[in-house]
Structure 1
Amino acid sequence: MPAIADKPSNGATLLRVDGLSKTFPGLKALDDVSFTVGAGEIAAVVGHNGSGKSTLVKVLAGVYQPDPGSVIEIRDASGKPLAESAARDGLHFIHQDLGLIPMLTTIENMGLGRSANGRGLRPVRTARERDEARRLIARFGAAFDPTTPVALLSPAERAIVAIARAMDGWTRSENVLVLDEPTTAFHGDEVETLFGAVRRVAAEGAGVVFISHRLDEVLGLADRVVALRDGRVVADQPAASLDHDQMIRLIAGRAVADTDVSRTSQPQRRVLRVSGIASEKIKDISLELGAGEIVGVSGILGSGREELAGLIFGAVHRARGTVEVEGNLLVSDDPVAAIEAGLGYVPADRRRDGAVMDMDVRENLTLSLLRPLRRRLGRLDGRAERAETRQWVDIVELRPPNPGQRLKLFSGGNQQKVVLAKWLRTKPLVLLLDEPTQGVDVGAKAAIYQLIAAAAAAGTGVLLCSSDTKELVSLCDRVLVLETGRILESIDRGELTEARLVRAELGLDAGASSDGLTTTEVRHGS
């Protein structure tokens, strides 16, 4: 990566937020929030789901109007407040979904950014625009073909495209870049690639607001940490003065054991048997799952881990093989039959696949099982539906506890609680989980872990597909490690450590599973 210049030393304040409040009916989402961001500074904003982080971003972006008396001020390098029109050009956003169009190239996506800045739609001048795109990409230490569709780039490369587009056409370096949970789908080196790009933006004089639930990333990147709790700033201090546990206490108001789940497992009858299933990414997998057992599925991106749960449920096409739930064969590619047989499925992308964001909490919670709530002539019993919804709102500790609010208005952690509760209320025989804590903070993660453990204690078999090694080690009775669509290894709880799991994922412990079974068939009780 190109050398990064020293940070500007003038310390000028580029963003000043003073007394910012935002009130919704029955809820004060932000309450007298104040902080500043200086030139060359990376300020992290952290907080529990529901703390106000998402509302803060939407207010800064102009999606929500703040309460009267709130001050949001963008300044130039000398500290002078900019006029309103110039201030709009001085604040740039990169949201979690990056706002890119996958089928378009880097060049074309950057062109859309220029159109948004009022230059109009123009034909691509191939050589000139390709060279400019390469220059912007190289500025962040990357070197990929800007004519490649964005869908074929890695997550880190797509993030660099989003940053390059946000910075394209800056007339001065002293702008403010806001990144909202940019690393949710990242793995390993991809995070550091993005961080190199962010550090370069700051080194050139911009201010950066970095919003994340990943505390280790915050400690590795930020100069300063602003912690929100219940819509208020509870801390604003140098990142160097904090460690992981101190940040958790700031966010939650207490110590939180984010991966400490007390449970004992005595697998009983077999509830799930998968034999020789295959799909586009899965080559040949067989496994069994017992009632009350939590079996993890691990593997690097492309191993098949990210497709297995959907394949078993019927959301992904099954080319061959069989799936049995308590001895009953499931029809392939039929999620309705899977639900009726006793399967529940929490997909990795809750917004796209796991819920209906424009529906309220009540509608989402009851959607998967309406039959018990219907009256004799088929009409929905509203009183019974409301009573059951209130019960689950209390069980998952939804915040705010408002079952009539549209799901998209809740934080990510609270959305995920609703998606999980939707299936838990069906009392499934088997719960298929794909990245169940992706994009949630430590408080929500601890709550979700307890819900999973409680489901297993009640007799549900759980198949947990996750890229989080701590999660797998904490929760699972055994972990199946996938490689190129096959089971490479099975690690029992007695041998399960993060180091052991990482070695297996990287192929450093390749070979037969510890009980001598083949790599394509790992049996229950191994």
Structure 2
Amino acid sequence: MTPEMVGHAPGAGVATQPAPQPRVLLRVAHLSKTFVGTRALDDLSLQVGAGEILAVVGQNGSGKSTLVKLLAGIHQPDPGGTIEVGDGSGRLVPARDGRGLHFIHQDLGLLPTLSTTENLDLGRPLGSRWITPARRGEHVRAQRLTARFGAAIDVRAPVALLSPAERAIVAIARAMDGWEHPENVLVLDEPTTAFHRDEVARLFEAVRRVAAAGAGIIFISHRLDEVRALADRVVVLRDGRLVAEAVAGQLDDDSLVRAIVGTAVTDARPAASGSEAVVLEVDDLRGARVDGLSLRLRAGEVVGVSGVLGSGRENVNALLFGSVRRRGGRVRLGGTELAPGDVTSAIEGGAAFVPADRHRLGAVMTMSMRENLTLPALRRLRGRLGGLRLTAERAEARRWVDEVELRPPLADRPLSTFSGGNQQKVVLARWLRTNPRLLLLDEPTQGVDIGAKAAIYRLIQRAAARGTAVLVSSADAKELVSICDRVLLVERGRVVAELEGPALTETALVHAVVRADSVHQSSDRPRPEVAT
């Protein structure tokens, strides 16, 4: 750990002279929480000042979610812990049911079919809201609330039609509505999981405006680049304890990763397999914004697919797997042609698909880890009379609990009760146990912490080492450079460039994506008429 890191555990580093603190709006002291013998949070103390943005980082299971629930009053702390908030007069008073604290969660808590005005009005007594003059006043009020964050939002349109950043701004405006004084604390819990880079910048500008008005901000995220860009200070949680804190501007990735994980995370990029056996042949693939895409994938090769949102990149894997029906083109897996929209033949041919939306498309959250793991291939676990052999299924689950480093290692626990990173490891494991020829991955580490990300990368490496061809579609340039042998750049639904070897760097990939998008935008722009 660098000298700038202030240690809170043995070996955490060298303490430095603390900078002058702003007026404290939130003070957490000796906060602990125990669940049935498990200490989820252990003697945590921290504070947030007026106008300060404090980032809280750590792996899934480090205690971040427990902290949020304690702040919100959902859980009660163990005896001895205190939470105090500012009352607007410079004093700190005991928090009551989250008063003085306001929360923006990952799902934002908005109703997508309602307008911005209606979402802002939820829970407010409005009286004659259906009388036209009153309703017009509500629209004006909603416009004023969202305009404070630099957003020009159509407040009458359904929230579902807004961009991710605009939806987040609506959630912030709702959380801040009715503040009796500006010295409140806003807690943002993983708000950018599904955001594109440009959307993140818009949200951060809105958050800075909240801080500039005198509020305190707690920003919880697993994205270290976002933490460096937004936060004034960073605290690191590991196993329920605060293990380090630092001024954000003095951080480097290596020291922060070591604090989060406890050890260094090495480069996950595998060596190219060198196999010449072609597993996947795609010619002139068309459908769902994909228009004439062709590619070849060899056994043991990890290939990335990059491109801006809307380039078609995000639809390639679903078209190949058959969960989205293609309009044209040919897909051959192991020499056998796959019929359009036929998921069954794709699975029987050795294809496996991990979609970006694991909750809706990747798993059955109400089922246990064991049931999710074995669901895609139950035949091998059936007895002579067709019944499921539970002993064999449990043995299979135990093996994969160890293989994917599941935490906690409880195979019969509902999948919904695991952290996002552990859920994703299970979704990946359910397909890896089929020993697929082709593994299709969409945003494989979206919404997971750095420790789970490293475990997922190891699973991908092992699959490639066994001869599986892996196609990874991701908006994360660093991820693609880290794990892929080569990366295909997609624009307007087709492959326009390929990076590999020494040319495959994060800088080169980002520049290539931006350049391709700029060319696309300029080619779509109407040409000016020339006066004659």
TM (norm. structure 2) is: 0.88
Q: Is the 8 A contact 1:42 1:224 kept in 2?
A: yes
Please tell me whether residue 291 in structure 1 is matched to residue 299 in structure 2.
yes
Q: Is the 8 A contact 1:10 1:39 kept in 2?
A: no
Q: Is the 8 A contact 2:440 2:472 kept in 1?
A: yes
Report the Cα offset of residue 190 of structure 1.
Answer: 1.9
Q: Is the 8 A contact 2:272 2:301 kept in 1?
A: no
In structure 2, distance between residues paired with 1:184 and 1:150: 18
Q: CA RMSD in A?
A: 2.3
Please tell me whether residue 421 in structure 1 is matched to residue 408 in structure 2.
no
Q: Is the 8 A contact 2:491 2:516 kept in 1?
A: no
Report the Cα offset of residue 197 of structure 1.
Answer: 1.0
Partner of 1:304: 312
2:515 aligned counterpart, secondary structure = coil
Cα distance change, pair 474–172 in 1 and its aligned pair in 2 (3 A): same
Q: Is the 8 A contact 2:104 2:187 kept in 1?
A: yes
Please tell me whether residue 199 in structure 1 is matched to residue 208 in structure 2.
yes
Report the Cα offset of residue 475 of structure 1.
Answer: 1.9
Q: Is the 8 A contact 1:39 1:77 kept in 2?
A: no
In structure 2, distance between residues paired with 1:494 and 1:83: 57
Please tell me whether residue 474 in structure 1 is matched to residue 482 in structure 2.
yes
Residue ranges of structure 1 left out of the alignment (5+ in a row)? 1-8, 512-526
Q: How does 1:24-423 map to 2 (within 5 A)?
A: 24-25=35-36, 27-82=38-93, 88-112=98-122, 115=123, 117=124, 122-123=129-130, 125-257=134-266, 259-423=267-431
The correspondence for 2:492, drawn from 463, 467, 484, is 484
Q: Is the 8 A contact 2:356 2:446 kept in 1?
A: yes
Report the Cα offset of residue 463 of structure 1.
Answer: 0.6
Report the Cα offset of residue 72 of structure 1.
Answer: 2.5
Q: Is the 8 A contact 1:272 1:323 kept in 2?
A: yes
2:70 aligned counterpart, secondary structure = helix
Cα distance change, pair 16–83 in 1 and its aligned pair in 2 (3 A): closer
Report the Cα offset of residue 455 of structure 1.
Answer: 0.5
Report the Cα offset of residue 163 of structure 1.
Answer: 0.7
Report the Cα offset of residue 497 of structure 1.
Answer: 1.9
2:291 aligned counterpart, secondary structure = coil
Partner of 2:471: 463
In structure 2, distance between residues paired with 1:496 and 1:169: 51
Question: Which piece of structure 1 moves more, 440-449 or 296-305?
Answer: 440-449
Report the Cα offset of residue 494 of structure 1.
Answer: 4.2
1:143 aligned counterpart, secondary structure = coil
Report the Cα offset of residue 74 of structure 1.
Answer: 2.6
Question: Which piece of structure 1 moves more, 53-62 or 428-437?
Answer: 53-62
In structure 2, distance between residues paired with 1:359 and 1:285: 37
In structure 2, distance between residues paired with 1:49 and 1:84: 26
Q: Is the 8 A contact 1:345 1:431 kept in 2?
A: yes
Aligned residue type for 1:308: V
Cα distance change, pair 499–236 in 1 and its aligned pair in 2 (3 A): closer
Give per-residue Cα distances to partners, 1:474-512, cap 9 Å, x unaligned.
22222211112122222233422223222321235999x
In structure 2, distance between residues paired with 1:275 and 1:10: 61
Aligned residue type for 1:103: T
Give per-residue Cα distances to partners, 1:10-45, cap 9 Å, x unaligned.
933222222222222353221222212222221111
1:36 aligned counterpart, secondary structure = strand
Q: Is the 8 A contact 1:177 1:207 kept in 2?
A: yes
Question: Which piece of structure 1 moves more, 423-432 or 396-405?
Answer: 396-405
How many residue pairs were aligned?
498
In structure 2, distance between residues paired with 1:207 and 1:355: 37
TM (norm. structure 1) is: 0.89
Q: Is the 8 A contact 1:489 1:510 kept in 2?
A: no
In structure 2, distance between residues paired with 1:219 and 1:506: 22
In structure 1, distance between residues paired with 2:192 and 2:235: 19
Report the Cα offset of residue 83 of structure 1.
Answer: 6.7
1:17 aligned counterpart, secondary structure = strand
Q: Is the 8 A contact 2:257 2:265 kept in 1?
A: yes
Identity percentage of aligned residues: 61
Q: Is the 8 A contact 1:431 1:461 kept in 2?
A: yes
Partner of 2:9: none
Report the Cα offset of residue 81 of structure 1.
Answer: 4.4
Aligned residue type for 1:14: L
In structure 2, distance between residues paired with 1:214 and 1:41: 19
In structure 1, distance between residues paired with 2:367 and 2:516: 46
Residue ranges of structure 2 left out of the alignment (5+ in a row)? 1-19, 520-532
Aligned residue type for 1:34: S
In structure 2, distance between residues paired with 1:212 and 1:503: 26
In structure 2, distance between residues paired with 1:456 and 1:83: 54
Q: Is the 8 A contact 1:432 1:464 kept in 2?
A: yes
2:141 aligned counterpart, secondary structure = helix
In structure 2, distance between residues paired with 1:97 and 1:475: 29
Question: Which piece of structure 1 moves more, 190-199 or 56-65?
Answer: 56-65
In structure 2, distance between residues paired with 1:338 and 1:89: 53
Report the Cα offset of residue 217 of structure 1.
Answer: 1.3
Question: Which piece of structure 1 moves more, 490-499 or 406-415?
Answer: 490-499
Q: Is the 8 A contact 2:234 2:248 kept in 1?
A: yes
Q: Is the 8 A contact 1:39 1:206 kept in 2?
A: yes
1:45 aligned counterpart, secondary structure = strand
